[in-house]
Every structure is written in C-alpha cells, then in structure tokens.
Amino acid sequence: MSTGSAMSTGSAMSTPSATLGATVELARLWSDPYPIYRELRRREPVAWVPAANRYLVARHRDVVALERDPETFSAAERDSLMIRVMGHTMIRKDGAAHARERAAAEPPMRPRVVANHWTTLFQRTADELVDGLYDRGEADLLRDFAGPYAARNLGLVLGLPDAAPADLQEWSQAMMDATGNYVDDPTVWRRSQTAAQQVDDAIDDVLGHLRRRPDESVISAMLHATDPLSVEEIRANVKVIIGGGLNEPRDSLAVGAWALLTHPEQRAAVEADPSLWRRAFEETVRWVSPIGMYPRQTTREVVLGGTRIEAGARIGVLIGSANRDETVFADPDRFDLHRKPNSHVAFGGGPHFCLGSWLARSQVSQVAWPTLFRRLPGLQLAPEPEVELGGWVFRGVLNLPVRWTP
C-alpha cells in the first residue's frame, strides 16, 4: 500500500474540531468559493466541513498525493450520491473492476480517434449552429451555442444521435445537480430520477441496432469490447458520461470565451497565433475548473495535509482550489494563457484521469473558439445583463450575452 506520499504532506496535526471548516457554508461556496479556498489552503488545508459532511482537501500537493494513493483514497465511496443517481459507474469503482469498464469505453475517446474522426463532426456542428445564429447579431453564448454544441457532439460520441440536444442538456443538468445535492432537496431527486429513466429508455432504443451494426460510438465500443459490458453497466456509464461529457466542454467553452472577451490583449494574441488556442484551454480549466470537486473515501486511517483522517471518512477533492494554489501558480486568480508551466489538475489524476479530456480539448480549443471568433465579426460582450458565475461542485458562467456585426 503506497502510503508515503499521503503521510508526508504535512507536519502540524489538526483534528475535525478545527474551527474554519465548521464555518463553511455551501451557499457561500456556490456563490464564490475562491476566498474560502484561499483561507482553507492557508489555515486548514484538510478541513472537516460539517455542511458537506466530509473533509475538504484544498491544496495542490495534497490533491496530487491522494491521487497517487488510490488504495487509501478510494473512488468507491459508500452511499455515493452518484451511485444513487446513475448506478454503479466506473468512476465509483477501483482496481480491476474500474480498469475493465474504462478499457471498454475508452477506444472512441483516444487522441487519434478524436483527431481522425470526431473533430470533423464537431466542426460541422459548430458551423451549423453559427449559421443559425449569424443573422441575429446577438445571443446568449452559453444557452444558444455552448450548450447545444456540447449536447449534439455528445450524442454523436455516445451513439445517441437522435437524442435531442435539449433533452441531453436536461438529463445532464438534472443528474449533475443530484450528484451535488448535499442539502437533500427532494425536488432535485425527483428530477434526476426522471432524467435517469429517460436515459435508460434512449439507450434501450439503440442497443439492438448497435449490436448488429457496430460504429465508432462509446455505446458500440462497450457492447463489442473484448470483455463486453452488461446493459446495466452501459446504462450507468452512459449516464456519467452525459454528466461530465456535456458539462466540461460546455462550461470550459463559455468560461474561456468570457475570459478572452474580457482580456483583449490575450484575445489578440490567440487570434494572431492559433497555436495559443490550446494554451487558452489549459488556462481556462485551471482558472475556473468545470468539475470543481469530486469525492473519495479513505480505506484506512491516514494523515493528509497535517490532519489525521479516520478510516471510512468522506473526502471532497477541491480541484477548483488546487488549481488556484499560490504555491504552485503565480498570481493564481488571474487568467493568463501565457502561464508556463501550467500543472493544473482539472482532469484529475491517477487511474481515474478524465477519459474525455481529448474530446473536450478538440471541441473547445480546436473547433469552437476558432470558429466563433473567426465567423462572428466584432464579437464582444453585450452591455447587459451582467455575466454571472455559480457553483463549486461544478462551476461555470450562468449566462454569456454577446453581440457581433452580421
């Protein structure tokens, strides 16, 4: 068992009775988590937070340490909200069980397949959406482009091409809201149950066809893997991919567009040098990480960041905080696409490193941003309404009003 990295991440010992974590309110985290994260990193980097019923891990080095020790910090959280919503997905499994399901789903998301197959389809989606918006001269870029774009692409990649983009967006949001439903809102549970059933129905509609006619999609890959997944396993993993696979590209697309529109010198740089689109993407997911927190559970007593944590404890891995750690990133609250190095952990690490990372990079930095900034002349923020952000388990802009000259 690899315990050294976790045991060496702090010297001063603290306990769950430390006071800072007890003051953390989920509503404040949702509005603006970064001031709270800054204080946690400084005063209590591994803090027991009663409002979240878990220890929150705020520092970059502690996040890296726990990811290097999956035997101690297990993804198989008992009574997981994700399992309640989606079933037992690969994200909530460890070891051989996780590796088997990941291997079945992975082939369509490998870099070469993304480059040679999916990127062309992503470009078609982007062009069709811009064609539909162009004459209007204004739009909410989140609602009218980023959401439908991510949804249509996801339907193609999954093997659900007939799923309406509006349905995919509703399913994703309903299930993601439920996986972060730490306040136990019954309305959120009901909405997620409806979404989960509709996803199952959509999968059932395509299974027969994909069994007979395999294609490049994820569902097809899972059906025809060397060790094929069961229908129950396919359903669970499609649900989790609908969550992250829509959330991450949508929110990184919108946040990054907002960043470039509000940093004209960096926008000018990336438009002059297309190689910088990729760096803009990496800085965007560091600056506002679309998945801001994910859970783990300890399998033994361990010391992390100077805090002794009991066996079976729930952990919240604060990616959104780790990616603004001032000991790793100079001036971390500033958006800077020239940042180098940029050792962000927005896609996690270890055996659970995000499967869809190359899909997100392609959709956003290779296709969506270059298309939007090239095809919408004079693209700029509209004067109102003001852009708002929200979330801490998942974070992004809530609106993005823009205008251009048709």
pLDDT in tens, 165-213: 999 999 998 998 888 787 889 999 999 999 999 999 999 999 999 999 9
pLDDT-derived band at 243, boundaries 50, 70, 90: confident
Q: Which two tokens stand for residue 106?
A: 């992975």
* pTM confidence score: 0.92
Whether pLDDT at 155 is above 90: yes
Contact between residue 160 and residue 202 where contact means Cβ atoms under 8 Å apart: yes
How many structural domains comprise the chain?
A: 1
| CB atoms near residue 221 (< 10 Å) | 23
The Cα 303–Cα 75 span in angstroms is: 18
pLDDT-derived band at 9, boundaries 50, 70, 90: very low
Q: Return the pLDDT at 41.
A: 98
The Cα 378–Cα 213 span in angstroms is: 45
The Cα 359–Cα 365 span in angstroms is: 10
Q: Return the pLDDT at 6.
A: 35
pLDDT in tens, 253-303: 999 999 999 999 999 999 999 999 999 999 999 999 999 999 999 999 999
Q: Return the pLDDT at 73.
A: 97
Query: Percentage of the chain surpassing pLDDT 90?
Result: 87
pLDDT in tens, 316-333: 999 999 999 999 999 999
Q: Return the pLDDT at 17.
A: 45
The Cα 362–Cα 73 span in angstroms is: 31
Handedness of CA 117, 119, 120, 121 (dihedral sign): positive
Q: Return the pLDDT at 390.
A: 97
Q: Looking at per-residue confidence, does 38 or 77 come out higher?
A: 38
Partners of 291 in beta bridges: 394
Whichever domain contains 45, its CATH number is 1.10.630.10
β-bridge pairing 401-403 and 302-304: unpaired
3-state SS, residue 49: strand
Write phi, then psi, for 297 (nearest 5 degrees): -140, 135
pLDDT in tens, 331-342: 999 999 999 999
Q: Looking at per-residue confidence, does 9 or 204 come out higher?
A: 204
Q: Return the pLDDT at 350.
A: 87
Q: Looking at per-residue confidence, does 183 or 373 come out higher?
A: 373
Task: Compute the mean pLDDT over every residue in the chain, rounded to the nearest whole number.
Answer: 93
Whether pLDDT at 159 is above 50: yes
Residue found under tokens 């509006």: 166
Kindly state the DSSP code that residue 109 receives in the 8-state scheme: G
Alpha helix positions (H), 46-185:
60-67, 81-86, 95-105, 111-113, 119-133, 141, 147-158, 165-179
pLDDT-derived band at 87, boundaries 50, 70, 90: confident
Query: Tell me, what amino acid is at 309?
Result: I
pLDDT in tens, 346-366: 999 888 899 999 999 999 999
pLDDT-derived band at 27, boundaries 50, 70, 90: very high
Whether pLDDT at 21 is above 60: yes
Whether pLDDT at 108 is above 60: yes
**Domain housing 307:** 4-403
Q: Return the pLDDT at 83.
A: 84
Q: Return the pLDDT at 183.
A: 80
Q: Return the pLDDT at 180.
A: 77
Distances (CA, A) of 79 to 192, 258, 313: 16, 37, 12
Q: Return the pLDDT at 5.
A: 33
pLDDT-derived band at 81, boundaries 50, 70, 90: confident
